[in-house]
């Protein structure tokens, strides 16, 4: 989802760039009539299987700031990730969840790239057995990194993946936090040897910790990935362009 999502436009809600990075907010204007014209479905369009255990409210029953954000995401990405539908069941928690997501995933400081962050999420979500986050953030990693196979390698066995020493140190720390191991100075020293400072360690640990919560939410609500995530980023754009039939 390169260049997809909303980089917050000085409005009371925050957004994010590239798919799941979104946020919360508080626009209190009256909803557009179009926003009330249909309800989001709890089921995928092409499947009879529900996206989760909890009902998705009708648009007309949702707060306007949430409807506006969801419509903006859907317009930018071409589909609405199921996490937005699921979290809309609890509007206050929707806002808090995406506000914190935005704070850690879209910050401009530190040495973690967008691809680094997505790789952390993939690795920790494998340990936490979260299909939604593994699939969705694997797709985001493919797009940010331009590496169509690396996330899949990490999903199978991160220690055998084609990772740099820097990435190995990053994931080693993230997984230590994920597994609630005793964090010692040695963990920080390994990061420092690869150029990470204490603030970078905070970022790595915070992403791991936040997604431990996110993974467990997805687990108990039985959240299912959108079908679009499975193929995203697997074929380079230039190859897709070549595959398009020529216009007469």
Residues 47 and 104 in one domain: yes
Residues 57 and 124 in one domain: no
Report d(CA 206, CA 200) in Å as an integer: 10
Q: Is residue 244 part of a domain?
A: no
Residues 187 and 220 in one domain: yes
Q: Of 40, 44, 89, which Cα lies nearest the Cα of 226? A: 44
Residues 28 and 125 in one domain: no
Domain boundary among 76, 108, 140: 108
Report d(CA 54, CA 223) in Å as an integer: 9
Phi/psi at 236 (5° precision):
-55, 145
- 180-211 pLDDT, tens digit per residue, is 999 999 999 999 999 999 999 999 999 999 99
Q: Say yes or no to pLDDT of 11 above 70.
A: no
Residues 185 and 227 in one domain: yes
For residue 94, the domain's CATH number is 1.20.5.810
Q: Residue 186: left if φ>0, alpha if ψ -120 to 50, beta else—which one? A: alpha
Q: Is residue 240 part of a domain?
A: no
Across 113-117, 219-223, 237-241, least confident range: 237-241
Q: Is residue 245 part of a domain?
A: no
Report d(CA 182, CA 167) in Å as an integer: 21
For residue 208, the domain's CATH number is 1.20.1290.10
Residues 55 and 130 in one domain: no
**Residue partners of 174: CB distance under 8 A and separation at least 6:** 120, 123, 124, 204, 205, 207, 208
What pLDDT does 166 receive?
A: 98
Angle (deg, nearest 10), helices 198-221 and 114-127: 50
Q: What is the mean pLDDT of residues 29-43?
A: 45
Residues 193 and 223 in one domain: yes
- 92-129 pLDDT, tens digit per residue, is 999 999 999 999 999 989 999 999 999 999 999 999 99
Q: Is residue 243 part of a domain?
A: no
Q: Give the position of tokens 């626009």.
A: 27
**Domain containing residue 160:** 114-235
Q: Say yes or no to pLDDT of 2 above 90.
A: no
Q: Say yes or no to pLDDT of 176 above 60.
A: yes
Domain count, the chain: 2
Q: What is the pTM of this model?
A: 0.80
Domain boundary among 108, 132, 165: 108
Residues 5 and 81 in one domain: yes
Domain boundary among 86, 108, 130: 108
Residues 121 and 164 in one domain: yes
Identify the band that residue 4 occupies on the pLDDT scale cut at 50, 70 and 90.
very low
What pLDDT does 241 receive?
A: 56
Q: Is residue 76 part of a domain?
A: yes
Helix (H) or strand (E) holding 210: helix 198-221
Residues 144 and 188 in one domain: yes
Residues 51 and 73 in one domain: yes
Q: Is residue 177 part of a domain?
A: yes
């Amino acid at each position: 989802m390169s260049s997809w999502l909303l980089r917050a436009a000085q409005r009371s809600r925050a957004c994010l760039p590239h798919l799941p990075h979104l946020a919360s907010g508080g626009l209190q204007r009256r909803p557009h009539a179009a926003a009330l014209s249909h309800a989001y479905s709890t089921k995928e369009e092409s499947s009879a299987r529900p996206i989760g255990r909890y009902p998705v409210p009708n648009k007309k029953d949702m707060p306007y700031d949430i409807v506006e954000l969801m419509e903006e995401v859907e317009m930018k990405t071409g589909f609405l990730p199921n996490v937005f539908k699921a979290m809309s069941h609890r509007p206050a928690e929707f806002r808090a969840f995406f506000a914190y997501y935005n704070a850690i995933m879209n910050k401009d400081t530190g040495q973690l790239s967008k691809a680094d962050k997505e790789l952390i999420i993939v690795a920790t979500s494998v340990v936490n057995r979260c299909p939604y986050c593994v699939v969705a953030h694997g797709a985001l990693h493919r797009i940010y990194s331009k590496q169509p196979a690396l996330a899949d390698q990490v999903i199978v066995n991160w220690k055998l993946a084609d990772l740099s020493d820097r990435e190995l140190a990053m994931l080693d720390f993230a997984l230590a936090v994920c597994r609630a191991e005793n964090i010692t100075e040695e963990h920080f020293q390994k990061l420092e040897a690869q150029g990470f400072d204490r603030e970078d360690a905070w970022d790595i640990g915070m992403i791991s910790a936040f997604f431990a919560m996110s993974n467990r939410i997805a687990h108990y609500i039985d959240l299912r990935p959108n079908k679009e995530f499975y193929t995203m980023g697997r074929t380079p754009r230039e190859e897709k362009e070549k595959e398009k039939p020529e216009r007469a």
